[in-house]
């Protein structure tokens, strides 16, 4: 999918930059979390309608359990 403009990237509510492939960035953050390279409490989401990538790692957030199933 081609984008008209880069997506803004926010970490803990602060704008830290832009990225031209937000879905790829989110995938890389999720994979790093699964490998243990970043804390398991780090969340990432892509907001297509606002062209934003939201990464949260701060304390006090509600989280839901999620089981990742591969090939099965």
Number of domains in the chain: 1
Q: Is residue 51 part of a domain?
A: yes
- Residue 25: alpha-carbon gap to chain centroid: 7
d(CA 60, CA 72): 33
The CATH number assigned to the domain holding 28 equals 3.90.1070.20
28-57 tens-digit pLDDT = 999 999 999 999 889 999 999 999 999 999
Q: Confidence class of residue 3 from pLDDT cuts 50, 70 and 90?
A: low
Q: Is residue 14 part of a domain?
A: yes
Helix segments in 1-72, DSSP class H: 22-35
């Amino acid at each position: 999918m081609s984008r008209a403009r880069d997506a803004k990237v926010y970490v803990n509510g602060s704008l830290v930059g832009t990225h031209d492939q937000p879905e790829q960035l989110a995938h890389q953050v999720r994979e790093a979390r699964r490998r243990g390279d970043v804390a398991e409490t780090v969340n990432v989401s892509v907001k297509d309608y606002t062209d934003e990538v939201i990464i949260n790692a701060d304390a006090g957030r509600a989280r839901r359990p999620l089981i990742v199933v591969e090939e099965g």
